[in-house]
Structure 1
Amino acid sequence: MSTVTRSASASPCMALNGIVDASLFPLKSTSDVVNLFRRSLTSAIEPDLTLLSIVVGYIELSLTTGEAAQAAQAAQATLGGSSDVIMGNSVPFPVVTHELIAGLYKKFQNILSVVEKPKPHRQATRDIIKKVSDVIWNSLIRSSYKDRAHLQNLYSYLSGNKLDCFGVALATTAGCQLLGYRDVRLAISEDHAWVVFGQKHVESIEVTWHGKGSEDKRGQDIGAGIESGSWLYLGGLAVVCERGMEVAAICVALNISLSANSDCVEVAELQQQLLWLLYDLGHLKRYPMALGLLGELEEINRTHRSIGCEQLFREAIESSRTHYHNHHVYPHIFQGNYYNRLLKYREAFAAWANAADVIRLYTYQCRDDEEIYKELLDIANELIPYVMKTESSGHSARSIIRDSEVFANLLRFYDGICQWEEDSLTPILHIGWAKPLVTNITKFDYDIRSQVVIKLPEDLEAEQAAALEAKKAAAAVAAAAATAEALLHLEGNNNNNNSVVKKDEKPKSELPTTLADLTAACGEKILNPDFLLQGGGQPFADQKQQTAAVVAAEQTTSSEATHNNNNNCSNSNNTDKEAKTSTTTSNGGSSNTLTQLSPSEANETQQQKAQHKEAKLEESSNKSNALVEQAPLAPLVDDYDPFEIMLKRPVITLYSQKMKGLKDLLLAEKLNTHAISLQVTAQSVASRKVRGVADNRQPATISATITAISSAEGIGAGGGGGNAANAAASGASSASSGDSSTLAATRPKRTRRE
């Protein structure tokens, strides 16, 4: 490919003053265009959205809709090419001249000349942005109000007055930048675009429409759309772009389609190289859709040595979780479809279930959510049934129909869709959804389905309450144990004036030493002066004398034991047992006798003391156990069941009302397909919300569903259950005949990448 040498002193693409730098042109190859984008993104001056959109738009339309491209499509059709692969169209790369770009740039300036330019340091207002969008809106051809391909760039607008809804939002943002309003930024959800402005970019305004109609939303705030819970606005967590991310949006908007089943390889190569440039510069970190698109392009044509498409899909999911609280659905769909193409069905089911976990965060809006509805319908009614049919044709032990985790993810996928349907004014799961669901469930045998542990939110709340009570009981046990320890510590301390006996030290006598005992004995005994003055010795005088006698007796016993050491063992033992000394003292007519014990008897006394201490500990423990028994006990869950570990029993929680009603039916040994189908296609199980007011009245179909399910459980999965379900279905249809048309909605036909 040819390249153009640039001078080192050349200015960036333009200085936003209406003069396009002629030294940057002509552009004759993909590398020339990439160099133009690189200079724009790395310059001190912010990139010019108008210039870059015109350049890539001209290249896209020349390679996909020009006369040469049409001739290539005709030749491909003649050869019978019908496979969905990227194919070259043998069209030479268009030369982008300075005259062409400068002329279109000047035309856009003239269109915006009716809008007032800002004074220095002036920020945009709602009226200014509305006026810019009005100018662009009023110059469009009315027949262009459809989501067609190749209408998302300024070249399409300036050369043919055609733009789709994203193109209008991009043109409004570029127009505000061209006028000099630096605070206007593009905001992008997964299927819509609008504008944010202000110093902190917290104010928002609609500048376009959405869908196939031409309803005017310009000038409105997006707050109403966020409050409605629609996926279209991602709950207020859309991508708010900086200038580099707006350039990334221009590149993502490139449409590589030649026809419904072929793509232009030259446009795909340009898009892939531009996205890698933006990736290396760090402009895709907060843009999950761009990362997913780059992953798809890398899957088709690997160009990066170290980063593969699987890593890019993971980065897209991580970006959504980190920056947008996992409110973006498409990153999970990208990953699931990728694993499906690689025949990694277990991973695909998990990714699709994760996508359903995201969509459950929203409330279904019929017109606004059309695109994501079609994506989920494709997964539920085309991809999953094909996989199940393929896997059930063999008897391999590694088949996904023998994997309980796959069954759990299948239930999680449908649970997310059912919860998405709740509180919406339009039902989702008509009979076209129910038939594939029932067919897929019947592929799993009872021994596989029974391995899945299905929980409900009520069970989780009960477990949390039980865990809280158990925590309180444990705290009470700890407090009781601390109290018992403190009591034992007090009993082991000698609370004298200056000296404290440690708990491990053995007391020398059995006389009372606590304050209560001292107080009780003061009327009968004489206090020891040393104890009162210095804090040492025994508290009573008679205790001092008794202690001295005990010491003397111990010394006598020790000497006698030494003297008889050479005698035989039996004589020595008898002598030791008979050696006793008694001392008697009189006080006020009363007598106290202290008998010195032999060493063996002293050991027995110490054992009794230890037993007494253990008895107190046991008593404290009994008190603690009594406190635990008074508290409600949490249900015991055996987390270390070897059979559960061996089978790897998956645990899921069903949140939607429809799937919660199917819990027992799903785990039954014999499936009642009629009852399952009737429960899934019930018009509503949750309360309806009309203009913010909840309507708690349940349709007649719900009572019919409950009746059918109970009848089916009582009769079984045979003909009786089917008749009961059919009878309930007929009653439901007669009760809601007016809504039958909405339940029979069909999937709109669409072409690839549109």
Structure 2
Amino acid sequence: MSTVTRSASASPCMALNGIIDASLFPLKSTSDVVNLFRRALTSPIEPDLTLLSIVVGYIELSLTTGEAAQAAQAAQAALGGGSDVIMGNSVPFPVVTHELIAGLYKKFQTILSVVEKPKPHRQATREIIKKVSDVIWNSLIRSSYKDRAHLQNLYSYLSGNKLDCFGVALATTAGCQLLGYRDVRLAISEDHAWVVFGQKHVESIEVTWHGKGSEDKRGQDIGAGIESGSWLYLGGLAVVCERGMEVAAICVALNISLSANSDCVEVAELQQQLLWLLYDLGHLKRYPMALGLLGELEEIHRTHRSISCEQLFREAIDSARNYYHNHHVYPHIFQGNYYNRLLKYREAFAAWANAADVIRLYTYQCRDDEEIYKELLDIANELIPYVMKTESSGHSARSILRDAEVFANLLRFYDGICQWEEDSLTPILHIGWAKPLVTNITKFDYDIRSQVVIKLPEDLEAEQAAALEAKKAAAAAAAATTAAAAAAEATLHLEGNNNNNNNNTLAKKDEKPKSELPTTLADLTAACGEKILNPDFLLQGGGQPFADQKQQAAAEQTTSSDLSHNNNNINNNNINTSSSKEADKEATTTSNGGGGSSNMAQSPSTEAQMQSPSQSQHKEAKLEESSQLELASSKPAAVDDYDPFEIMLKRPVITLYSQKMKGLKDLLLAEKLNTHAISLQVTAQSVASRKVRGGGGADSRQPATISATITAIASTEGGAVGGGAGAGNATSATSTDSIAPSRPKRTRRE
């Protein structure tokens, strides 16, 4: 091709910025390119972004847009290749020569020569970065390339003066590195890229545009976008790259598309191997979108024996939660679409609901949020209706239509979208959203819908207030017993001195209850929150301070066996009592997780005071059994162990936060659905008050876990426990006969 020979006259002795030895060239295979990247990433000198972007860009364009690739594409079209199938184009791997790369590298240096190089230890300024972006911007062909493929690398820029918006941000970062400004870093959200700089990388600057047009944002700070609550900037929790992560961004930006319906096997293989190299070196742990993309590539073609694509999707979600307060939407969409392709619809609904829990943290911005809007619209109006149609074709008890948890997740999904719409200048839920929503709801019978416990934030506030009052009452009770506890401790100490002349058997019997008593007033007060006080001790000041110790003392007095046998019985009683208390605590915690009543947490202790010891132990055993059942339900059940009746007995609890969905509470649980009223409520104009969102500070950011949660059951496979250039999305299943009906379809973004 003409682009291959345009710079062949460059000097072959060029040292490529002193980082990569010319002896590594030519590159004739995928392994040669991976070896080049490994050498760059493990060298004590930071990797050269310009060099690596030119190399992979040349390979990508040669295999996907070259003359031979076009001929292969035409041959595939003549054979009637199916859609969504990765196909090889039978093009030999392009030979990457040192002369070619050196010539383009020198050209980029010449373009940047008009920018002042830094003095020793000098950091970049907003003016310097703006000037670098101006140089790149002014040399581009005047046209918008938002939806064009293969424009995210420096080879596209240096050979054809074409870049999309991510390509401009990458070129600006690489240009600053080439000039010697080491503090400039690339920042990436899920659909945009900009630059951060300064010693702590807290200053930011726009260097490109976003959207269908080419409106100039260069030189602006991103603070306004963060304050607007736009998903485009992820609330200030975007991926701020180190050099290794910038190399990962170059690899993620590789576009494997050969045509609308086929991908290039060679480029996909190169991208997959490079991402595994970066994964092994630890450069992807803070890059959720890269982990998700690697998971999709592994789903198409498994290359790693020990790490599955499902595990990679989980790691992407964990990365978003651990490093970005769960403000990234795509990791959950990756997982949900993956489960949907495997026909695991329960897990898919939970993952999609988790994605809606994240999007509710933002306010919808029509132009900036176009990509994520398309994703959610596709889930709501294509994937979910298809699943509902498939599942409603029979009357199997295994159908998700007989699962109240699925219905709760469906409501949680729409609740997140409705809250995303609140305070937006542009409505989201028009009649095109309302019709599928109403249809999906009507698929669930009344006996399934009525199992879902729907709460409102007002209910949670009342429960929290009641819990606070109960806590204050407990503190007052503990303070009231302080004086009596001090007197009891002194009395017990005096009795111990008077009983020194008793026989050894009685002395040893008295040692056990004394050893269990708190030795200080502070210990006694702290134990009041965990043990039940003895009424005799409170009223008369004598005897054991706690009820369980009173039971142990009575058991010791009625035992006439020898001392060793007696001590064994006491130890067994202590173990049983301890285990029952732990079960009581575990059951109480489970019943109150994520929106449960705080008053329920105190009911086991209150009832235990009013019941006999045998009744108390019986209730504790029941609580332990129920907690074990709930824990078992949170684990993925095997196909053979599936029990439809157990699914029907579940009582998921969900809290609705959006104004629209709160207004639907009574309609959703009615025996006969009023579909017209539901449709009117969903499409009504939102009049909600302004949502409180996390600004730029880390302390003010709230994780997505504060949104609606299903508390009765933990979803399987980590789906309900619950990054980026060039990310991918997935399509719905096209056939129920295949385990993976279709491969993930990727739409390349900035």
Same topology, TM > 0.5? yes
The whole-number CA distance in structure 2 between the counterparts of 1:80 and 1:358 is: 41
**Secondary structure in 1 matching 2:715:** helix
**Secondary structure in 2 matching 1:722:** coil
**TM-aligned CA deviation for residue 259 of structure 1:** 1.2
User: Which ranges of structure 2 fall in alignment gaps of 5 or more residues?
Assistant: none
Q: CA offsets per residue over residues 560-613 of structure 1, 9 Å max, x none?
A: 999999999999999999999999999999999999999999999999999999
Residues 258 and 264 in structure 2, CA contact (< 8 A), matched pair in contact too: yes
Question: Which of 650-659 and 525-534 deviates more?
Answer: 525-534
* Cα RMSD after superposing both structures: 18.4
**Secondary structure in 2 matching 1:737:** coil
**TM-aligned CA deviation for residue 483 of structure 1:** 8.7
Q: CA offsets per residue over residues 371-395 of structure 1, 9 Å max, x none?
A: 0000000100000000000001011
**TM-aligned CA deviation for residue 541 of structure 1:** 42
The whole-number CA distance in structure 1 between the counterparts of 2:368 and 2:595 is: 104
Q: CA offsets per residue over residues 302-355 of structure 1, 9 Å max, x none?
A: 000100100000000000100111111000000000000000000000000000
**TM-aligned CA deviation for residue 474 of structure 1:** 2.2
Q: CA offsets per residue over residues 444-469 of structure 1, 9 Å max, x none?
A: 00000011111111111100110111
The whole-number CA distance in structure 2 between the counterparts of 1:588 and 1:310 is: 27
Q: CA offsets per residue over residues 508-537 of structure 1, 9 Å max, x none?
A: 999999999999999999999999999999
The whole-number CA distance in structure 1 between the counterparts of 2:222 and 2:136 is: 20
The whole-number CA distance in structure 2 between the counterparts of 1:450 and 1:589 is: 20
Structure 1's 207 and 37: CA in aligned 2 closer, same or farther, altered over 3 A?
A: same
Residues 412 and 656 in structure 2, CA contact (< 8 A), matched pair in contact too: yes
Residues 582 and 595 in structure 1, CA contact (< 8 A), matched pair in contact too: no
Residues 41 and 47 in structure 1, CA contact (< 8 A), matched pair in contact too: yes
Q: CA offsets per residue over residues 643-702 of structure 1, 9 Å max, x none?
A: 999712111111111111111110110110011111100121314799999999999999
The whole-number CA distance in structure 1 between the counterparts of 2:198 and 2:594 is: 103
The whole-number CA distance in structure 2 between the counterparts of 1:670 and 1:615 is: 40
Give the structure with higher Rg (CA).
Answer: 1
Q: How does 1:218-233 map to 2 (within 5 A)?
A: 218-233=218-233
Match of 1:198 in 2: 198
**TM-aligned CA deviation for residue 22 of structure 1:** 2.2
Structure 1's 9 and 102: CA in aligned 2 closer, same or farther, altered over 3 A?
A: closer
Question: Which of 384-393 and 509-518 deviates more?
Answer: 509-518
Question: Which of 639-648 and 378-387 deviates more?
Answer: 639-648
The whole-number CA distance in structure 2 between the counterparts of 1:323 and 1:159 is: 38
Residues 674 and 721 in structure 1, CA contact (< 8 A), matched pair in contact too: no
Q: How does 1:440-451 map to 2 (within 5 A)?
A: 440-451=440-451
The whole-number CA distance in structure 2 between the counterparts of 1:113 and 1:129 is: 14
Match of 1:526 in 2: 532
**Secondary structure in 1 matching 2:707:** helix
Residues 152 and 253 in structure 1, CA contact (< 8 A), matched pair in contact too: yes
Q: CA offsets per residue over residues 103-154 of structure 1, 9 Å max, x none?
A: 1111100000000001111111100000000000000001144331100000
Residues 187 and 193 in structure 1, CA contact (< 8 A), matched pair in contact too: yes
The whole-number CA distance in structure 2 between the counterparts of 1:195 and 1:689 is: 28
**TM-aligned CA deviation for residue 752 of structure 1:** 7.1
Structure 1's 477 and 619: CA in aligned 2 closer, same or farther, altered over 3 A?
A: farther
**TM-aligned CA deviation for residue 476 of structure 1:** 2.7
Structure 1's 672 and 527: CA in aligned 2 closer, same or farther, altered over 3 A?
A: closer
Question: Which of 511-520 and 116-125 deviates more?
Answer: 511-520
**TM-aligned CA deviation for residue 79 of structure 1:** 1.3
The whole-number CA distance in structure 2 between the counterparts of 1:503 and 1:350 is: 57
Structure 1's 463 and 642: CA in aligned 2 closer, same or farther, altered over 3 A?
A: farther
Question: Which of 537-546 and 87-96 deviates more?
Answer: 537-546
Q: CA offsets per residue over residues 614-657 of structure 1, 9 Å max, x none?
A: 99999999xxxxxx999999999999999999712111111111
**TM-aligned CA deviation for residue 540 of structure 1:** 38
Structure 1's 21 and 408: CA in aligned 2 closer, same or farther, altered over 3 A?
A: same
Q: Which has the higher contact order (CA 8 A, sep 6+)?
A: 2
Q: CA offsets per residue over residues 87-112 of structure 1, 9 Å max, x none?
A: 11111111111111111111100000
The whole-number CA distance in structure 2 between the counterparts of 1:554 and 1:81 is: 84
Residues 197 and 204 in structure 1, CA contact (< 8 A), matched pair in contact too: yes
Structure 1's 15 and 332: CA in aligned 2 closer, same or farther, altered over 3 A?
A: farther
Structure 1's 474 and 92: CA in aligned 2 closer, same or farther, altered over 3 A?
A: same
Question: Which of 48-57 and 62-71 deviates more?
Answer: 62-71
Residues 226 and 235 in structure 1, CA contact (< 8 A), matched pair in contact too: yes
Question: Which of 388-397 and 576-585 deviates more?
Answer: 576-585
Structure 1's 9 and 23: CA in aligned 2 closer, same or farther, altered over 3 A?
A: farther
Residues 688 and 696 in structure 1, CA contact (< 8 A), matched pair in contact too: no
Structure 1's 225 and 454: CA in aligned 2 closer, same or farther, altered over 3 A?
A: same
Question: Which of 38-47 and 535-544 deviates more?
Answer: 535-544
Question: Which of 42-51 and 490-499 deviates more?
Answer: 490-499
**TM-aligned CA deviation for residue 477 of structure 1:** 3.0
Residues 683 and 699 in structure 1, CA contact (< 8 A), matched pair in contact too: no
Structure 1's 184 and 500: CA in aligned 2 closer, same or farther, altered over 3 A?
A: same
The whole-number CA distance in structure 1 between the counterparts of 2:326 and 2:46 is: 30
**Secondary structure in 2 matching 1:338:** helix
The whole-number CA distance in structure 2 between the counterparts of 1:426 and 1:189 is: 22
Residues 709 and 725 in structure 1, CA contact (< 8 A), matched pair in contact too: no
Question: Which of 197-206 and 488-497 deviates more?
Answer: 488-497
Match of 2:269 in 1: 269
Residues 494 and 513 in structure 1, CA contact (< 8 A), matched pair in contact too: no
Structure 1's 724 and 473: CA in aligned 2 closer, same or farther, altered over 3 A?
A: farther
**TM-aligned CA deviation for residue 712 of structure 1:** 38
Residues 466 and 632 in structure 1, CA contact (< 8 A), matched pair in contact too: no
Match status 1:744 vs 2:740 = yes
Match of 1:542 in 2: 548
Seq. identity, %? 90
**TM-aligned CA deviation for residue 11 of structure 1:** 17
Structure 1's 689 and 129: CA in aligned 2 closer, same or farther, altered over 3 A?
A: same
Question: Which of 26-35 and 699-708 deviates more?
Answer: 699-708
**Secondary structure in 1 matching 2:591:** strand
Residues 124 and 198 in structure 2, CA contact (< 8 A), matched pair in contact too: yes
User: Which ranges of structure 1 fall in alignment gaps of 5 or more residues?
Assistant: 622-627, 727-731
Structure 1's 683 and 14: CA in aligned 2 closer, same or farther, altered over 3 A?
A: farther
Match status 1:495 vs 2:495 = no
Residues 231 and 363 in structure 1, CA contact (< 8 A), matched pair in contact too: yes
Residues 584 and 594 in structure 1, CA contact (< 8 A), matched pair in contact too: no
Residues 108 and 158 in structure 2, CA contact (< 8 A), matched pair in contact too: yes
Residues 286 and 323 in structure 1, CA contact (< 8 A), matched pair in contact too: yes
Residues 536 and 543 in structure 2, CA contact (< 8 A), matched pair in contact too: yes
Residues 634 and 716 in structure 2, CA contact (< 8 A), matched pair in contact too: no
The whole-number CA distance in structure 1 between the counterparts of 2:595 and 2:105 is: 123
Question: Which of 604-613 and 207-216 deviates more?
Answer: 604-613
Corresponding residue pairs, total: 736
Q: CA offsets per residue over residues 158-211 of structure 1, 9 Å max, x none?
A: 000000000000000000000000110000000000001111111110000011
